[in-house]
Amino acid sequence: MNVSRVRVGVIGTGVIAQVMHLHYLRELSDRFDTVAICDLSEGSAQANAAAYDVPGVYTDAHALLDADLDAVLVLTSGSHAPLAVEAARRGRHVFVEKPMCFSVTEAAEMFSEAERAGVVLMVGYPKRYDGAYARLAEVVREIGEPRLLRVTTTEAPWRPYLEHYPLIEPGVVDADVVERLRGETQGRLAAAIGTDDPTLTSFYQNVLLDTLVHELNTVRGLWGEPDRLEHVDRRPGALHVHLGYGDAAASIHWLDVPGMTRYAMEFSVTGTKGRATLTFPSPYLRNAPALLEVERGTGESVSSSLTQEITSYESGFRRELEAFHDAITRDAPVPTDGRDGARDVALCGAIVRSLVERSAIDNPSDY
């Protein structure tokens, strides 16, 4: 594609759209021309269109796809498969928020249609585009043979992180539409994991697909595909996942701490020559930097060092939109494309199977 300014439509005007995507699309107005906004709530769609100077306003996403667009951002809740597939068939490049969808079957349809149409399909994983993540990947190669990758996420209340933003309230949506979409979501979740047990479908959607998928994607970005899902331990407000990587292991710990608004996601990689720890702040803070700590020493003495690095104050959300633009206009590869996202969905499904069957699973990210 030879144009430098991409005409884009935004589907969904919820929190992440307002706090991040609409904000950064406006900052990147030299690269993106936001020409249409869609939301089931007409009031929200109208108000956000006015706030961000967007001329086209829709309440029907299928109608938005008829507009003169190059690309769409699908930022709605639920599975993004139906809209992503339709957009690809109409020749639109597609950016979807995580999770990309609910099942590997949906994921395969999404990336197959995108590849058939020759359009970009990108999944939003801002941590993979953060400058500190790129620096961590460099350091990991310097600290010897890998031994352990430990991930600890302290999930915290998110609303306090939004109080300083001038957010537009959600607005009213027809109750029948909400009920229909809820039913469709439950049906897709049940098909994805093979049961309509509300406890398991809620766990699959709200813990794995909505939150832990970030940790899984980042682990895979650093170390590639796990050989084995060795153990899953689920307790009230906590989930522990152990992945095998040959002689090394990745141990992921997710903890819900509702009484403390102090979110943190920490990746700590220990090798034979040192340790690197990257800590991400709340994803709702636009320019709060990630902190990288690197520990080094020798085997001959107790002498050691600890350095702290801030790589950048630039948001990963902005950088991923820049990457989306480069993929559209310069055919640049995106690390979080549809096939990459499909492996996260497969891994989430494997975690549910491991819990139910009480067994380890080989090659859990295969689809």
Q: How many domains does the chain have?
A: 2
CB neighbours of 82 closer than 8 A, spacing ≥ 6?
none
According to the model, what pLDDT value does residue 232 have? 98
Same domain for 161 and 35, yes or no, is no
Same domain, 162 and 78: no
Which value, to the nearest 10 degrees, does the dihedral of the CA atoms of residues 333, 115, 87, 186 take?
Answer: -100
Each residue of 285-294: pLDDT tens digit? 999 999 999 9
CA angle at 155 for the pair 149 and 160, rounded to the nearest 5°:
140
Same domain, 121 and 20: yes
Residues 135 and 221 in one domain: yes
Contacts of residue 268, Cβ cutoff 8 Å, sequence gap at least 6: 148, 149, 150, 151, 152, 275, 276, 277, 278
Same domain, 196 and 105: no
Look up the CATH number of the domain holding residue 98.
Answer: 3.40.50.720
Q: What's the confidence (pLDDT) of residue 314?
A: 96
**pLDDT above 80: residue 213:** yes
In this structure, is residue 367 part of a structural domain? Answer: no
299 inside domain: yes
The pTM (predicted TM-score) of the whole model is 0.96
Banded model confidence at residue 2, pLDDT cuts 50, 70, 90: very low
**For residue 35, is it within any domain?**
yes
The whole-number average pLDDT for the span 96-120 is: 98
Can you give the pLDDT at residue 4?
85
Same domain, 31 and 148: no
Residue 291, domain CATH? 3.30.360.10
pLDDT at 340 over 80: yes
Same-domain check for residues 144 and 85? no
Could you tell me if 145 and 214 lie in one domain?
yes
Q: Where are the alpha helices (H) located in the chain, listed in sequence order?
A: 15-16, 22-27, 42-51, 61-64, 81-89, 104-117, 131-140, 175-193, 198-202, 213-223, 316-330, 338-357
Q: Quick one: 257 and 136 in the same domain? A: yes
Residue 355 backbone class (left: φ over 0; alpha: ψ -120 to 50; beta: rest) = alpha
Judge whether 211 lies within some domain. Answer: yes
Asked if residue 169 and residue 140 are part of one domain, the reply reads yes
DSSP 3-state of 232: strand
Average pLDDT over residues 51-72: 97
Q: Which domain holds residue 82?
A: 6-125+319-335
| 202 and 264 inside one domain | yes
